[in-house]
Amino acid sequence: MHTPDCPRELPGAPGDYFATVIDSVGDGVIVVGTDGRITLYNPAAEEITGFSRRQALGTTFEKLFSVETPLLEMVAKTIRTGITISDHENVVVRSTGKISPVAVTCYPLILPNGENIGAILTLKDITYIRELEAAVRQADRLSTLGTLAAGLAHEVKNPLGGIKGAAQLLERELPDNSDMREYTSVMIRETERIDRIIRELLDLASPRGLKLSPVNLHRVLGDILLLQQQAVGPRDITFTKQFDPSIPDIMADEEMVTRLLLNLIRNAIDAMGESGRLTVVSRVLSDYRMTQNERNSRMVAIEISDDGPGIPAGDLENIWTPFFSTKSSGTGLGLTICHKIVAEHRGMIKVESDQGHGTKFTVLLPLVQ
């Protein structure tokens, strides 16, 4: 084989030179012989896969990557056919258990005489690219205002904790009958209020992702209504449930769906004052199409209606905007959060309001994600 001149500054034999070159490549490089054994494994490959060179060399590729079926198929195909295959959607499971997305290309290793003696895999860790893509999608969703507010919220969080702690210490120092206690309790209550707003804002801005599991909507609604019935106390508010018993569990994030329904039910109760009727209806819409993305999945509809004063026509378009509230103690984030939760579940939310006659919020959620 023709050996190129080695640069003078690199000591040792040509083999060392090539090894140094391969070891210096930032992408993972793995060479597999036709017998399936690994013959080369560079440090970047160690870093990406979590397997050390010592573990890898001499072992069969199939044994080391037993669960990464797409990788096994690529190597087998390249060795069999001598063609180059790329796959940018693969996932390599590190031996540490962490899953990192990698872009993989598998080249045939061919001698000058045309003999195919194995495959060369290059692996590029694209975790960072995936994170960037997710961040871009997230930034798209959030308005500039929301992002700024979240940044500000983060900055305010720590000093706020300090103020609350100091107010609590101050309160402890005061005698039980001191007039000053009124001031400290205002300080503590208001810092708690800011803290709640900040937590909601940060929540709104954080890319949490859905934790999907089968959710029994009727149980969730039943639990919320039970608790809210106790919370309304002496107010004369009637709760009516009309549930379609044929609704199966839906695939959703239970914590988020609970928050969504709780926010809507609380708003309805807030709107009704001293007396009223809250009605919760559930239905399956069997042939409902999500026309905007051409999905054709079955949807569940949940309607939450109240017979309160309704929402003035001029306010209807503002209710989803962060901080829009007509309540003295409202944050105005409730419906913004509801909107985000529904969008993340690929659902829909709409409102119909008849001033003087009440309001109906309808949430559509797909049965499966």
Ligand X SMILES: Nc1ncnc2c1ncn2[C@@H]1O[C@H](COP(=O)(O)OP(=O)(O)OP(=O)(O)O)[C@@H](O)[C@H]1O
Residue 106 binding: pick among Mg ion, ligand X, none (C-beta 5-8 Å cut-off by kind)? none
Residue 327 within binding range of ligand X, rule CB under 6 A = yes
Instruction: Residue count of the chain, please give it.
Output: 369
Q: Does position 349 bind ligand X by CB under 6 A?
A: no
Is 331 an interacting residue with respect to ligand X (CB under 6 A)?
yes
Contact region with Mg ion (CB under 5 A), list: 171-179, 188-196, 334-342, 354-362: 334-342
Contact call for residue 359 and Mg ion (CB under 5 A):
no
Q: Is residue 250 within 8 Å of 217, Cβ to Cβ?
A: yes
Nearest distance in Å: CB 263, ligand X = 6
Question: Which of 334, 366 has the CB closer to Mg ion?
Answer: 334
Q: Are 23 and 118 in contact (CB under 8 A)?
A: no
Dig out the tokens for 27 from the structure: 């992408």
Q: Candidates 12-20, 112-120, 141-149, 263-271 — which segment interacts with ligand X by CB under 6 A?
A: 263-271
282 binds Mg ion, rule: CB under 5 A: no
Q: Which amino acid is at 146?
A: G
DSSP character for 318? Answer: T
Token code pair at residue 367: 């049965």
* From candidates 49, 184, 258, 267, binder to ligand X by CB under 6 A: 267
Min CB(185)–ligand X separation in Å: 21
Task: Choose one: 144-152, 238-246, 260-268, 350-358; the region binding Mg ion (CB under 5 A).
Answer: 260-268
Residue 263's CB: how many other CB atoms inside 10 A?
19
Q: Does 276 bind ligand X (CB under 6 A)?
A: no
Does 64 bind ligand X (CB under 6 A)? Our answer is no
Q: Helices 334-344 and 254-272 meet at what angle, rounded to 10?
A: 140
Q: Which of 319, 348, 364, 365 binds ligand X (CB under 6 A)?
A: 319
359 near ligand X, rule: CB under 6 A: yes
| Distance between CA atoms of residues 260 and 337, nearest Å | 7
User: Which residue in 333, 342, 363, 364 binds ligand X (CB under 6 A)?
Assistant: 333
Region of residue 166 (left: phi > 0; alpha: psi -120 to 50; beta: else): alpha
Window contacting ligand X (CB under 6 A); options: 158-166, 186-194, 248-256, 305-313:
305-313
Helix ranges, the chain (H): 14-24, 43-49, 53-56, 61-64, 69-81, 127-141, 144-173, 180-205, 217-231, 254-272, 313-316, 334-344
> Helix axis angle, 217-231 relative to 254-272, nearest 10°?
40
- Tell me which of Mg ion, ligand X, none is bound by residue 31, counting a contact when its beta carbon lies within the kind-specific cut-off of 5 to 8 angstroms: none
How many Å is the maximal CA-CA distance in the chain? 98
Which residue, 45 or 311, is less far from ligand X as judged by CB? 311
Which of ligand X, Mg ion, none binds 311 (CB below 5-8 Å, type-dependent)? Answer: ligand X
Backbone angles phi, psi at 263, to 5 degrees: -60, -45
267 in contact with Mg ion (CB under 5 A): yes
Q: Which is nearer to ligand X, 42 or 331 (CB)?
A: 331
Name the closest residue to Mg ion (Cβ). Answer: 334
Q: By C-beta, is 334 or 366 nearer to ligand X? A: 334
* Of the residues 92, 311, 364, 365, which one makes contact with ligand X according to CB under 6 A: 311
Using CB under 6 A as the binding rule, whether residue 306 contacts ligand X is answered as yes
Applying CB under 6 A, does 275 fall inside the site for ligand X?
A: no
CB neighbour class for 124 (10 Å; exposed up to 12, middle 13-18, buried from 19) = middle
Q: Which of 334, 347, 358, 366 binds Mg ion (CB under 5 A)?
A: 334
CB 45 within 8 A of CB 22: no
Within 8 A by CB and 6+ apart from 330, the residues are 270
For residues 65 and 147, give the distance between their C-alpha atoms in angstroms, rounded to a whole number. Answer: 41
Residues contributing to the site for Mg ion (CB under 5 A) = 267, 334
Residues contributing to the site for ligand X (CB under 6 A) = 263, 267-268, 271, 306, 308, 311, 319, 324-327, 330-335, 359
